[in-house]
Chains A and B, each alone.
Chain A
């Protein structure tokens, strides 16, 4: 077990190294740099002035040197200086991480608490009116773009209540909870739908297994059969999907943070890419990669808790 974890941690380091190379090179392959964009905003084209900015920002250094400077700083805990805000990158990123983490956490919570129980109900009541209703709901979740759904929610709130659930840093109490949960539901709806469909199909397969029939013939209650015997065996693929969804969630977060005007990391990353703010983008992508890789490791470890038959490294 311990050796497995050590191997996975080493793999994480290799993965993150690969990500660092990829993001570093991709950013430089994409046409334009911060000097282009700064000039764009002022409508200037004087090459001499532009050259001056490029030199000021160290963009004229050879690529290996730029990479070494970045990675060296990262290892020392120095994330560098933002070209746009002219502040340390860490000061810009740190306050935004809890905002996005909260949104992502609530969104995952929403997906799981909605997706799993509704998927089970749909499977248990296969081909009933409830099942059809839930299947339509899950199909809607997969079809509706979160951007559109978010705007629809905002319009409905403005029209019917005269309020709008967009980010407000001074919100408290019930209002705070509403401002957390509504965007979380908007972003988590797609994952909830996916989890619901997967839980349903997985449950249907398990419910036909011999050991479930045996459990029923032993006289166990429906609840005990469904939750203790069937769900526990059906949930493994669902856990895998939850791990994958953690990565996909990032895309949804960008859109939802934009629509609900949440000043989180995801929206900030898009803006940093637009400005080609290399230190900011590189460090943010590394952070996101780290989170995704860690979540996937935790998901793998979670298999053992759910299914004692699984033992790694033996």
Chain B
């Protein structure tokens, strides 16, 4: 009995010791090698809206707050301190006060203060000219009235209305704190941050290198000596090179789901995650140009779409079906399947929807012998073109004979600007899974990215109403209602929600990806290599 008790005690001790070793087994050192798909337009996260900039440069910076690393979803309830140690709401939730971390230094040795926070958001809200070339996320900050500082360690965001989601936007990868003393031009080419990695080199069309910040304010972090992104525009070369062990990790969301299966079949030990890539395919209808100024035509077009066919053809059924907001289970705000089934054009009976569409078109004088002629304009990029071809096929079912008009990328946005299109097939990305980001960026009257100029003052009231709500469940109900009305109005009918794969070798440890955004988990301070 005594020997048995001793054995159990030894086993327990061993188990505890193993667990402890496991918990503290992170190894320091090593260079993380990552593939990259293209040359980032610049290194300035605030000036870009692409993962090509966000992923490699997020580790150079800190935010005021961040999403808890390792949480399954990026959400309001799981926000952690970063450069702000604490925050508090006051003045009926119209004042958000942050206490800032002490002793933090920029990579050039200058101290981080509240002035840096103020000038970052004064620049992105357009209050001061920070000489940025572009400001794609300006609409995120529509509710900020003013920013004030109380000494070097306290900063106060004064809001026009209460807005719980402001914290969500501040926690995203596109919201780093910039240094006041560094020019916008330098931030585009050789950025300075407070983050775990320092910028080392950006060779155009070749590579991006970051090195460990030895003075990082978080003790013991980061583990890696550095990160090197190699720009490989040819996707086949990038995948083969990773299979050959030349790279540890792929650029996130870059591998099509069907190729992920092939990679895992060829290299079973490769770990891959297919997740929403925060991009969606949607239909742009120029509501100012006849006959599309007639809501009945727009409705007939929306009824012709078979979303499941898009998902099956483009991704073997992997792409999600939903409205403007990312569909569950990954998305927080998308419709439930039951709710979605009741929305016109989303039901399982596609033929019934199309019959309704045909009925509308017959009333307008069209039929099999008199098809409505139409040009579907799109960017001459595979993901846009493929979707357009399917769309053209679907439109035939409601007596619309369309032809494809592929446009050079540079012409595409110029045509959108001039409203020189009738119908367009668009693929767009959204930085954060949050209704404020989606609605204010894409559907607000006059917003820069509101390509169809959809403007519904009544719905805008609901945008603001949901934005101010604390109760997230009650908010979700309004969000569903808004999304339903956007789809019914044909504001920008969403056809599919894309997914993409990220693959890494087992030696990459501590990599935890949230499922509802590809943009927010690239700080790399907890990642280590077991080589």
Cβ of B410 under 8 Å from chain A: yes
Nearest-Cβ distance from residue B406 to partner chain A, whole angstroms: 13
Determine which of B49, B204, B243 lies in contact with A42 in the assembled complex, contact meaning CB atoms within 8 Å: B49
Nearest-CB distance from B89 to chain A (Å)?
Answer: 31
Q: Which residues 227-252 in B have Cβ within 8 Å of A in the complex?
A: 230, 232-234, 236-237, 240-241, 243-246
- Given known A53-B133, A86-B185, A166-B237, contact A39–B244 (CB-CB < 8 A): no
Question: Is B189 in contact with A85, judged by CB distance below 8 angstroms?
Answer: yes
Asked if A42 and B412 sit within 8 Å, CB to CB, the answer is no
The CA-CA distance from A49 to B129 in the complex, in Å, is: 12
> With the chains together, A263 CA to B39 CA distance in Å?
12
A190 within 8 A of B: no
Q: How far is the CB of A83 from chain B (nearest CB, A)?
A: 10
A58–B367 Cα distance when bound, in Å, is 53
Assess whether A164 is interfacial by the CB under 8 Å rule: yes
- How would residues 174 to 205 of chain B score, 1 for a CB under 8 Å from any chain A CB and 0 otherwise? 00000000000100110000000000001111
Chain A residues with CB under 8 Å of B49's CB are 41-43
Chain B residue at smallest Cβ distance from A163? B244
Which B residues are in CB contact (< 8 Å) with A259?
Answer: 234, 236-237
- Over the window 142-172 of chain A, the binary record of Cβ atoms lying under 8 Å from chain B Cβ atoms (1 yes, 0 no) is 0000000001001101100011101000000
Asked whether B434 is an interface residue with its Cβ less than 8 Å from the other chain, the reply is no
B residues within 8 A CB of A85? 189, 202, 204
Residue from B134, B202, B230, B234 within 8 A of A258 (CB atoms): B234
Contacts of A36 in B (CB 8 A): 410-411, 413-414
Identify the interface centre among A53, A87, A166, A267: most chain B CB within 10 Å of its CB.
A166
Measured between beta carbons, the chain A residues less than 8 angstroms from B241 are 164, 166, 261
Closest to B409 in A: A40
Give the distance to chain A from B18, nearest Cβ to Cβ, in Å. 33
Output the nearest chain B residue to A161 by Cβ-Cβ distance: B244
Report yes or no: B451 in contact with A44, Cβ–Cβ below 8 A. Answer: no
CB distance from B316 to the nearest CB of A (A): 23
| A41 adjacent to B41 (CB under 8 Å) | yes
A261 touches B234 (CB 8 A): yes
> Is A45 within 8 A of B448, CB to CB?
yes
Q: Are B244 and A45 in contact (CB under 8 A)?
A: no
Q: A260–B237 Cα gap in the complex (Å)? A: 7
Q: Once bound together, how far apart are the Cα atoms of A33 and B449, in whole Å? A: 20
A276/B204 contact (C-beta < 8 A), A162-B245, A261-B230, A271-B39 known: no
B417 interface residue (CB < 8 Å to A) = yes
Q: Is the CB of A276 within 8 A of B205?
A: no
Known pairs A86-B189, A261-B232, A263-B203; A166 contacts B246 (CB<8 A): yes
Inside 8 A of A40's CB, which chain B residues have their CB?
409-410, 412-413
* B237 / chain A contacts, CB cutoff of 8 Å: 151, 154, 166, 258-261
Q: Which residues of chain A have C-beta atoms less than 8 A from B204's C-beta?
A: 82, 84-85, 92, 268, 271
Q: A38-B41, A158-B243, A163-B244 are in contact. Are A263 and B412 (CB under 8 A)?
A: no
Tell whether, in the assembled complex, residue A151 and residue B417 are in contact, meaning their CB atoms are under 8 Å apart. no
Report how far A40 CA is from B50 CA in the complex, Å: 10
Q: How far apart sit A87 and B244, CA to CA, in the bound complex (Å)?
A: 34
Which of A31, A43, A164 is close to B244, meaning CB atoms less than 8 Å apart? A164
Query: A41's closest neighbor in chain B, by CB?
Result: B41
In the complex, the answer to whether B410 meets A31 with C-beta atoms within 8 Å is yes
A210 contacts the other chain (Cβ, under 8 Å)? no
Alpha-carbon gap, A268 to B39, bound state (A): 10
Task: Please give, as numbers and ranges, the residues of chain A lying within 8 Å of B39 by CB-CB distance.
Answer: 84, 271
Q: Mark A243-275, 1 if CB is under 8 A from B, else 0.
A: 000000000000000111101000110010000
What is the distance, in angstroms, from B269's C-beta to the closest C-beta of chain A? 13
Q: Give the complex CA separation of A85 and B135 in angstroms.
A: 18
- Residues on the B chain within 8 Å of A223, using CB: none
A228 at the interface (CB under 8 A from B): no
Q: State whether the Cβ of A37 lies closer than 8 Å to any Cβ in chain B.
A: yes
Known interface pairs A45-B417, A164-B246; A154-B206 also in contact (CB < 8 Å): no
Instruction: Tell me the residues in window 429-452 of chain B with beta carbons closer than 8 Å to chain A beta carbons.
Output: 429, 448-449, 451
With A263-B203, A263-B206, A271-B205: A87-B410 Cβ-Cβ less than 8 Å: no
Q: At the interface, yes or no: B481 with Cβ under 8 Å from chain A?
A: no
**B205 neighbours in A (Cβ, 8 Å):** 263, 267-268, 271
Instruction: With A43-B136, A46-B448 as known contacts, state yes or no: A37 contacts B409, CB within 8 Å.
Output: yes
How far apart are the CA atoms of A308 and B474 in the complex, in Å?
93
Q: In the bound complex, how far is the Cα of B134 from the Cα of A49, in angstroms?
A: 7
Within 8 A of A (CB), among B371-395: none
Q: Considering the chains assembled together, what is the distance between the CA atoms of A240 and B131 in angstroms?
A: 54
Give A152 to B275 CA distance when docked, in angstroms: 30
Instruction: Determine the residue in chain A with the shortest Cβ distance to B449.
Output: A43
Alpha-carbon distance between A226 and B412 when the two chains are bound, in angstroms: 61
> A32 to B411, Cβ gap below 8 A?
yes
CB of B408 within 8 A of chain A? Answer: yes
Query: B240 contacts A155, CB within 8 Å?
Result: yes
Given the contacts A36-B414, A164-B240, A41 and B189 also touching, CB distance less than 8 Å: no
Mark each residue of chain A from 277 to 293: 1 if its CB lies under 8 Å from any CB of chain B, else 0.
Answer: 00000000000000000
User: B428 in the interface, Cβ–Cβ < 8 Å?
Assistant: yes
Residues of chain A at the chain B interface (Cβ within 8 Å): 31-33, 36-47, 49-50, 53, 56, 82, 84-87, 92, 151, 154-155, 157-158, 162-164, 166, 258-261, 263, 267-268, 271, 276
Additional 17 contacts, C-beta under 8 A, given A41-B50, A263-B206: A31-B414, A36-B413, A38-B133, A39-B413, A45-B416, A53-B133, A56-B133, A82-B204, A151-B236, A155-B240, A166-B237, A166-B241, A166-B246, A258-B233, A259-B234, A267-B233, A271-B205
Could you give 9 example pairs across A and B, Cβ below 8 Å?
A31-B408, A39-B134, A40-B409, A41-B41, A42-B48, A42-B49, A84-B42, A154-B236, A158-B240
- Top 8 nearest A-B pairs (CB, nearest first) are A32-B410, A42-B136, A164-B244, A263-B206, A36-B410, A41-B41, A45-B417, A42-B134
